[in-house]
């Protein structure tokens, strides 16, 4: 079983100076979608990655060591309106450069807010991952904000916005739901075993 309970913060970096000596699970999605919260929930450590109710909290690529074989990687969110266009471009460049250094070592968890239709940037990310052949898993966040009987319909409507999605399987997640955490751990374990090196 993948065990995240001893995960430790290692270092923050820009896209250069990154070590690709382990397999990596990287969390991507728009600003404020819940990437850092999900990492903390998965590892059951509220102090691991900094979260904020304001978008744009994570500005660097943060590496956490799960074990001698695996890193978790928290990335800056995209689509943050308050930063300049130039900085925003820097953000997506950072994400792209990070991934392109060693795409076969990375499993990407794409986070989408269950309440909102995907943005152009969400679509671009999925298309780009498909194009590069990067393994990914879609996770809908903040599912506690939608009444349970409506969750499936929301998820499917949101997914229908991705014309080229290669893997329509998704997970409904909430940091308030223990079962979701267990399910995600299982999925990540299976994908790591099957896919990346």
- Residues interacting with ligand GTP, by CB under 6 A? 31-37, 51-53, 55-58, 76-77, 141-142, 144-145, 174-175
In the complex with Mg ion, the residue whose CB is nearer, 23 or 58, is 58
In the complex with ligand GTP, the residue whose CB is nearer, 55 or 195, is 55
Tokens of 103: 């795409």
Residue 175 interacting partner from Mg ion, ligand GTP, none (CB closer than 5 to 8 Å by kind): ligand GTP
| Alpha carbons 15 and 47: distance in angstroms, whole number | 24
In the complex with ligand GTP, the residue whose CB is nearer, 46 or 152, is 46
Identify the residue whose tokens are 């397999």.
Answer: 23
Cα–Cα distances in Å, from 95 out to 28, 34, 42, 54, 129?
9, 17, 22, 21, 11
Cα–Cα distances in Å, from 38 out to 42, 111, 126?
6, 9, 19
Tokens of 49: 């990655």
Stretch that binds Mg ion, among 31-39, 83-91, 109-117, 148-156 (CB under 5 A): 31-39
Q: Is 32 in the site for Mg ion (CB under 5 A)?
A: no
x/- letters, 50..89, toward Mg ion (CB under 5 A): -------xx-------------------------------
């Amino acid at each position: 079983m993948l065990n995240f309970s001893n995960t430790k913060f290692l270092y923050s970096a820009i896209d250069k100076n990154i070590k690709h000596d382990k397999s990596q699970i990287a969390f991507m999605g728009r600003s404020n979608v819940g990437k850092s919260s999900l990492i903390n929930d998965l590892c059951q450590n509220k102090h691991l990655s900094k979260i904020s109710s304001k978008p744009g909290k994570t500005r660097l690529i943060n590496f956490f060591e799960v074990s001698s074989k695996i890193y978790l990687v928290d990335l800056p969110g995209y689509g943050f309106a308050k930063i300049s266009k130039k900085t925003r471009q820097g953000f997506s460049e950072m994400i792209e450069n990070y991934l392109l250094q060693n795409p076969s070592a990375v499993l990407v968890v794409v986070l989408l807010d269950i309440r909102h239709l995907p943005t152009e940037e969400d679509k671009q990310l999925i298309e780009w991952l498909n194009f590069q052949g990067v393994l990914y898993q879609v996770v809908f966040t903040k599912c506690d904000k939608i009444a349970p009987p409506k969750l499936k319909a929301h998820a499917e409507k949101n997914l229908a916005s991705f014309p080229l999605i290669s893997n329509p399987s998704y997970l409904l997640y909430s940091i308030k739901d223990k079962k979701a955490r267990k399910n995600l751990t299982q999925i990540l374990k299976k994908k790591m075993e099957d896919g990346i090196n």
